[in-house]
Structure 1
Amino acid sequence: MQKIILCAGVILMANTSFSQRTMEKLIDKLSNKDVPLASVTEVSVNPSYIRLDAREREEYEVSHLPDAKYIGYTNFDIDQFTSLFPDKEATYLVYCSLGIRSGKIGERLIELGYSDVKNMSGGIFKWMEEDLPVVDADDRETKRVHAYNKFWGLLLTKGEKVYSLESEEKDER
């Protein structure tokens, strides 16, 4: 994992514009190849996908995709998930900030027998870059998005970046 983070850092440092192309390269390097990717465009026009947010609660409450259900990452509970989402044939779309954490959760869902799981390429960062709507904890449209930390936040060029004290502390470690 440290090699992956180092690779991500090299990619970020080598490109000072942090363009969409940089984001796409980073996602390609870091995404889980066992979970099919769905583009932001595909997700935005397909209301049948069950949208699952695999970020932390604080990130979800700042903003999330409309109709997304919080499932978390660190505290992802398999038993709770299977009781809330028993249909293993439905199409589940998992996303996070960029697609790294959601790829890991997607892999777990596939291992549990869910047959149609997709990972949204570029996550909520790419969603924001495409000027698509996000909503806050009260389901009101917002321009705010949790940028995880200042390192990863470099890839988010639209919207209002929100950081937490905890993520700032992680940066210092």
Structure 2
Amino acid sequence: MKRIIISISLLVSVSGFSQESLSELLKQYNDKGVPYITIQELVMPKTKAILLDAREQKEYQVSHLKDAICVGYDFFDLKTVTDKIKDKDQLIVVYCSLGIRSETIGEKLKEAGYTNVQNLYGGIFEWKNNNFEVYNSNNKPTDSVHAFSEEWSKWLKNGIKIYPKPKKNDR
């Protein structure tokens, strides 16, 4: 259902109705079922979290947070997480481009019994906007960030925007 809402909202925003702030955008899509963690809180030395990237593999390969585990969104498999994270009280921070897909994945983790799940406010876009490093598929720092789409890329202010390749039937 959330995918349908995202698609409809994207069409509406392309028609000229766009969000004024990131906060308004996230309020539109998220119900705060997963609490936010800010970038500033995450980078504090005492914050020891497992990072889960709720974007697709093609996005993760372009750019991701250091040591993040790609769990995807469209084909998310809870077993990927349960096999790697046995301690259900461990702090888990889920992120995506802005914090919308990551809330959905965070809710699934909470339903599976994980008790300390948080959603990175503003996702990888805000991470990069705050001048923190992102890494490519070779785990080397990069200025490139997968922009998800041209419309959503307006939220990415720093870095080089990399857009998805068009599908063969889109040409």
TM-score (norm 1): 0.85
1:33 maps to what in 2?
A: 32
Structure having the larger proportion of residues in helix? 1
Residue of structure 1 equivalent to 2:44: 45
Q: Note closer, same or farther for the CA distance 1:42–1:10 as it changes in structure 2 (3 Å cut).
A: farther
Runs of 5+ consecutive residues of structure 1 not aligned to the other structure: none
Is the alpha carbon distance of 1:113 and 1:38 closer, same or farther for their aligned partners in structure 2, counting shifts above 3 Å? same
- Which runs of structure 2 are paired with 1:3-42 in the superposition (5 Å)? 3=5, 6-7=8-9, 13-14=16-17, 22-42=21-41
Aligned partners of 1:50, 1:148: CA distance in 2, in Å? 23
Deviations 1:121-168 (A, max 9, x none): 100011111111111111111110000111111221211000122xx4
Separation in structure 1 between the aligned mates of residue 127 and residue 147 of structure 2, nearest angstrom: 13
1:96 corresponding residue in structure 2:
96
8 Å contact 1:40–1:121 — kept in the other structure?
yes
Query: 1:74-130: per-residue Cα shift (whole Å, max 9, x none)?
Result: 121112221111110100000000111100000000000000000001000111111
1:76 paired to 2:105: no
Quote the Cα distance in structure 2 between the aligned partners of 1:76 and 1:3. Answer: 19
Number of the residue aligned with 1:145: 145
* Unaligned stretches of 5+ residues in structure 2: none
Residue 114 of structure 2: aligned partner: 114
User: Separation in 2 of the partners of 1:28 and 1:82?
Assistant: 29
Contact (CA 8 Å) 1:11, 1:22: kept in 2 or not?
Answer: no
Cα distance in 2 between the residues matched to 1:152 and 1:101: 13
> Cα distance, 1:31 vs. partner?
2.0
8 Å contact kept, 2:71–2:80: no
Q: Distance in 2 between matches of 1:42 and 1:106?
A: 18
The sequence identity of aligned pairs, in percent, is 37
RMSD after superposition: 2.2
Moved >6 Å (runs of 4+): none
- Amino acid in structure 1 at the alignment position of 2:111: E
